[in-house]
């Protein structure tokens, strides 16, 4: 029934065979239409070809490991329980373990800047020190596009000789040459701060996993236990009671205690006050327990913190009330603090500042000095129900020309009642199931919204036919899409997912990464189903948060009479081809394993406007804001001309089964009302629907069902007759 739907029988019907389709003589194709269709077919075939390819990658086998550890070293048998290769060395007639070699991606697959985890070969000695670290693979744009990989190779070489028992942070470039402690700092790389931090966390978290199981230290007995704070454990308590119960801990080091620790080092006698006056005065607490976190942070901040923490992650608050700033004067948000560390059972736990909003105060009684919330990743193996400690490093200097730093560590113990936690042996199963359980209510809300949307759009003589009520429904649904699906659930679909699919297809990887974002996967499933049924418009017109943001921004401008620019038809047709070229460039770069794909994907403003709430560097913010401003004058210009995801969906929409938009034979000749009203330019002068450009706003459907708006019905009623619909040739 393609192009032959009568308004009196407006339900979608399957596409007919060419032998059965009849109608007036076909119209001549518009200029450029042939080129656009050819380009679309080529791109669609190219995408299907890319996704059909497979290239084996896998992890290192024995021969691969032996290339890194040649004779006289011997590579032993790979561990069945842990992906570790023992590296053996002959000593006094017998073989001793020289190191345990493993790939970081097997133990700590932390996504890098490009969304793909780096993979490093790590050799850990039996005493917990690093024998060697080598880069096996990475997709960090700053190294692939700009600096080259050599600085990264030199960066990981610094780990040789360092110990996994101690915290290791990434300092500034030449940090160790400037006097930083050689055991706790590796030199950073200018312009690659984010990438080197990911590399550092990958190395440390993977090494700690091996240390706990193979080196005899750390919480080996607790491996496999799932320890979570009880969500029902809430009791409103003042700050004094939190301290009294030990839920919040005060950690004080006086001038006298510091002097005693530095005695005999040549830096004693530096105290600036009486011996009993605090030099450092900290309050710290584990925040995941609601009785602690909700009381200290307040309802809103605790809820925000809970949303931001990943499954299995932990948060620790540290606030200073003393004269010594534990974060250091040059502290950078999002980094690992220099002077404070969390330790548990002989290991320093990798804890990073969460870089969250720092304005506003906490509960009454909480100090107002410098503070941080430290995130401990699930991979670190931290058990909050067991004893742990917070340590602070106090540093003094001596010498004027060759400055020497002398440090002393002070620690305070922390322990919470086991009744505040749920400890259980996790069932054998994939780790992504935790994400689905944690976000169950979000999935329910989105599923309910989708369940409401389908009958509204499919029953075209229902709500859609009532212009006033349907207009209110559309605005409300777009607000839900922006506020809940986009800003709250962070389920903005993106071309980045297709880039990941291409990389997985060509790299032989799995698609498990999709399972860790349940709301987005639910939307992808619905969008693919609606794509086959109705075409591109369901997502682009109803479920895209950035599209909703544009439409909501344009609504008051339209009410205020802001005049829009009419794009000339020839230019409009040419501009619509641009998004297909952008799509081809992005997927082509991904297929070639080029990091340029990630840079090109920034043409989408989704990350800036939706994921990061416009909290980003000014060029990205200016670009996203500029597109919203352009939308006020050229309606949804980005969606129509630039969006690579829209181009991919338009190509997939060629598989559409239904021609669901009703048309009359009078549409286009003589009536042009729907074409004039369509702000997307998805109705041709002939009256046909250009489905790849249709955003399913349903305005033309409302018009054709309204006897007061549909011109053929108005004319027929005045002449006292009814309209006999005739088929219209399909687009």
Residue with tokens 């929409």: 653
Task: Determine the longest span between alpha carbons in the chain, in angstroms.
Answer: 110
- The reported pLDDT for the residue numbered 643 is 94
**Least-confidence region, from 58-67, 382-391, 422-431, 469-478:** 422-431
Which tokens is 708 given?
A: 């007061």
- Give the highest mean pLDDT range of 475-479, 535-539, 705-709: 475-479
Q: What is the pLDDT of residue 450?
A: 94
- Checking if the pLDDT of 11 tops 50, the result is no
Which residue in 518, 454, 461, 482 sits closest to 611, CA to CA?
Answer: 482
Kindly report, residue by residue over 98-156, the tens digit of the pLDDT. 888 999 888 888 766 555 788 899 998 887 789 899 998 887 766 764 467 788 888 98
> Residue 217: which pLDDT band, with cuts at 50, 70 and 90?
low
Q: Which of 342-346, 563-567, 628-632 has the highest mean pLDDT?
A: 628-632
| Residue 611 burial class via C-beta count within 10 angstroms: exposed 0-12, middle 13-18, buried 19 and up | middle
Which pLDDT value is given to residue 526? 94
User: DSSP secondary structure string, 147-171?
Assistant: I-SHHHHHHHHTTTT-BTTS--EE-
What per-residue confidence (pLDDT) applies to 389?
Answer: 92
pLDDT, position 114: 55
In the prediction, which pLDDT does 247 show?
93
pLDDT band for 679, please (50, 70, 90 cuts). confident
In the 8-state DSSP scheme, what is residue 9? B
By C-alpha distance, which of 239, 222, 322, 324 is closest to 285?
239
Supply the pLDDT for residue 362. 65
pLDDT per residue as tens digits for the range 594-626: 878 878 888 999 878 887 678 777 888 899 999
Q: Report, as an integer, the average pLDDT of 4-26.
A: 39
518-533 and 644-652 helices, crossing angle to 10°:
50
> Please, what is the average pLDDT of the chain?
78
Phi, psi at 609, each rounded to 5°: -80, -30
**Maximum average pLDDT range among 102-106, 578-582, 712-716:** 578-582
Distance CA 265, CA 268 (A): 7
Per-residue pLDDT band at 449 (split at 50, 70, 90):
very high
Residue 190 has pLDDT above 70, yes or no: no
Pairing of β 351-353 and β 371-376: antiparallel
Contacts of 360 (CB under 8 A, 6+ apart): 301
Task: Report the chain's C-alpha Rg in angstroms.
Answer: 31
Most confident of 25-34, 400-409, 592-601, 642-651: 642-651
Q: What is the pLDDT of residue 205?
A: 83
Domain ranges of the chain: 1-30+664-731, 62-219, 226-424, 431-655
DSSP per-residue codes, 286-312: E-SSHHHHHHHH-HHHHHHHHHHSPTT
Average confidence (pLDDT) over 349-363: 70
Inform me whether the pLDDT recorded for 727 exceeds 50: no
Question: pLDDT at position 3, please?
Answer: 39
pLDDT at residue 434 is higher than 50: yes
For a pLDDT cut of 90, what percent of the chain falls above it? 20
Buried b / exposed e over 308-317, threshold 16 CB at 10 Å, is ebebbbbbbb
Distance between CA 414 and CA 514 in Å, rounded? 38
Residue corresponding to tokens 């509204």? 456
Q: pLDDT grade, residue 725 (50/70/90)?
A: very low
CA-to-CA distance for 121 and 131, rounded, in angstroms? 11
Any idea which of 205-214, 220-229, 334-343, 451-460 has the lowest mean pLDDT?
A: 220-229
Q: Please, what sign has the CA dihedral across residues 135, 138, 142, 147?
A: positive
How many whole angstroms separate alpha carbon 12 and alpha carbon 649? 20
Residue 445 contacts by C-beta under 8 Å, 6 or more apart in sequence?
Answer: 484
Confidence of residue 717 (pLDDT cuts 50, 70, 90): confident
Q: DSSP string spanning 197-259?
A: HHHHHHHHHHHHHHHHHHSS-SSGGGTT-EEEE-TT------HHHHHHHTSEEEEEEEHHHHH
Classify each residue of 371-381 as buried b or exposed e, where b means 16 or more C-beta atoms within 10 Å of its C-beta: bbbbbbbebbb
What is the CA 297 to chain-centroid distance, rounded? 25
Two tokens, residue 499: 């880039």
Tokens representing 331 are 């502290």
Residues 6+ apart with CB under 8 A from 87: 65, 69, 73, 74, 75, 76, 97, 98, 99, 100, 101, 123, 131
Q: Say if residue 724's pLDDT is above 70.
A: no
- Whether this prediction's pTM lies above 0.85 is answered by no
pLDDT at res. 49: 45
| pLDDT for res 520 | 86
Does 670 sit behind a cis peptide bond, omega within 30 degrees of 0 on the bond before it? yes
User: What number of CA atoms fall less than 13 Å from residue 589's CA on the CB side?
Assistant: 21
Of 77-81, 163-167, 215-219, which gets the smallest average pLDDT? 215-219
| Residue that has been written with the tokens 């071309």 in this structure | 495
pLDDT in tens, 228-257: 888 887 899 999 999 999 999 999 998 888
Which of 332-341, 503-512, 513-522, 572-581 shows the lowest per-residue confidence on average (mean pLDDT)?
503-512
| Burial (0-12, 13-18, 19+ Cβ within 10 Å), 701 | buried
pLDDT reported for residue 48: 47
- Quote the pLDDT of residue 355: 73
Closest of 469, 482, 459 to residue 542, by C-alpha: 482
Q: Are 193 and 352 in contact (CB under 8 A)?
A: no
* CA 682-683-686 angle, 5° bins: 150
The whole-number average pLDDT for the span 445-455 is 93
For residue 161, what are the contacts with CB-CB under 8 A and spacing of at least 6? Answer: 129, 130
């Amino acid at each position: 029934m393609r192009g032959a739907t009568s308004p009196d029988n407006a339900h979608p019907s399957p596409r007919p065979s060419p032998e059965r389709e009849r109608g007036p003589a076909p119209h001549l194709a518009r200029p450029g239409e042939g080129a656009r269709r050819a380009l679309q077919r080529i791109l669609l075939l190219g995408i299907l070809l890319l996704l059909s390819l497979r290239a084996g990658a896998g992890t290192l086998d024995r021969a691969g490991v032996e290339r890194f550890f040649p004779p006289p070293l011997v590579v032993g048998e790979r561990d069945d329980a842990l992906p570790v290769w023992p590296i053996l060395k002959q000593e006094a007639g017998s073989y001793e373990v020289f190191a345990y070699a493993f790939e970081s991606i097997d133990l700590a697959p932390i996504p890098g800047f490009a969304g793909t985890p780096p993979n490093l070969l790590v050799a850990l000695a039996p005493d917990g020190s690093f024998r060697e670290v080598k880069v096996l693979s990475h997709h960090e744009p700053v190294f692939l596009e700009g600096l080259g990989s050599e600085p990264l190779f030199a960066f990981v070489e610094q780990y040789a000789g360092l110990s996994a028992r101690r915290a290791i942070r990434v300092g500034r470039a030449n940090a160790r040459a400037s006097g930083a402690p050689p055991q706790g700092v590796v030199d950073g790389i200018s312009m690659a701060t984010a990438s080197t931090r990911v590399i550092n966390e990958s190395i440390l978290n993977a090494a700690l996993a091996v240390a706990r199981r193979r080196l005899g230290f750390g919480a080996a007995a607790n491996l496999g236990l799932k320890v979570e704070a009880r969500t029902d454990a809430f009791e409103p308590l003042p700050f004094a009671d939190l301290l009294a119960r030990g839920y919040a801990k005060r950690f004080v080091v006086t001038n006298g205690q510091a002097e005693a620790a530095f005695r005999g080092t040549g830096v004693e006698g530096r105290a600036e006050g009486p011996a009993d006056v605090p030099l450092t005065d900290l309050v710290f607490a584990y925040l995941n327990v609601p009785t602690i976190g909700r009381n200290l942070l307040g309802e809103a901040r605790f809820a925000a913190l809970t949303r931001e923490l990943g499954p299995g992650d932990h948060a620790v608050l540290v606030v200073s009330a003393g004269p010594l700033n534990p974060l250091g004067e040059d502290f950078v948000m999002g980094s690992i603090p220099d002077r404070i560390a969390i330790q548990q059972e002989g290991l320093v736990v990798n804890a990073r500042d969460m870089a969250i909003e720092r304005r506003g105060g906490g509960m009454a009684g909480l100090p107002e000095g410098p503070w941080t919330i430290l995130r401990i990743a699930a991979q670190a193996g931290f058990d909050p129900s067991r004893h742990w400690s917070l340590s602070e490093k106090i540093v003094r200097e001596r010498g004027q020309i060759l400055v020497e730093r002398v440090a002393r560590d002070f620690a305070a113990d922390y322990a919470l009642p086991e009744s505040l936690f749920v400890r259980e042996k996790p069932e054998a199963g994939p780790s992504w199931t935790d994400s689905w359980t944690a976000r169950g209510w979000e999935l329910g809300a989105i599923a309910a919204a989708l369940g409401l949307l389908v009958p509204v759009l499919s029953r075209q003589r229902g709500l859609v036919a009532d212009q006033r009520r349907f207009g209110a429904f559309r605005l409300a649904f777009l607000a839900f899409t922006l506020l809940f699906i986009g800003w709250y659930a962070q389920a903005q679909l993106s071309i980045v997912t297709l880039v990941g699919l291409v990389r997985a297809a060509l790299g032989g990887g799995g698609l498990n990464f999709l399972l860790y974002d349940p709301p987005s996967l639910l939307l992808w499933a619905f969008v693919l189903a609606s794509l086959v049924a109705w075409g591109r418009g369901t997502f682009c017109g109803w479920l895209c948060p950035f599209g909703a943001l544009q439409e909501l921004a344009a609504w008051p401008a339209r009410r205020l009479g802001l005049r829009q620019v009419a794009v000339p038809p020839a230019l409009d047709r040419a501009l619509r081809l641009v998004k297909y070229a952008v799509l081809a460039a992005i997927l082509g770069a991904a297929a070639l394993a080029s990091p340029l794909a990630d840079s090109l994907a920034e043409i989408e403003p989704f990350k800036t406007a939706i994921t990061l709430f416009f909290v980003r560097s000014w060029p990205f913010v200016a670009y996203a804001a500029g597109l919203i401003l352009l939308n006020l004058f050229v309606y949804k210009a980005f969606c129509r001309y630039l969006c690579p995801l829209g181009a991919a969906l338009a190509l997939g929409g060629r598989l559409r089964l239904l021609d669901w938009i009703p048309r009359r034979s009078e549409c286009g000749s003589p009536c042009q009302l729907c074409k004039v009203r369509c702000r997307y330019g998805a109705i041709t002068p002939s009256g046909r629907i250009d489905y790849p450009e249709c955003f399913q706003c349903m305005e033309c459907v409302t018009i054709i069902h309204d006897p007061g708006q549909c011109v053929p019905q108005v004319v027929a009623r005045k002449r006292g007759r009814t309209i006999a619909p005739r088929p219209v040739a399909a687009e």
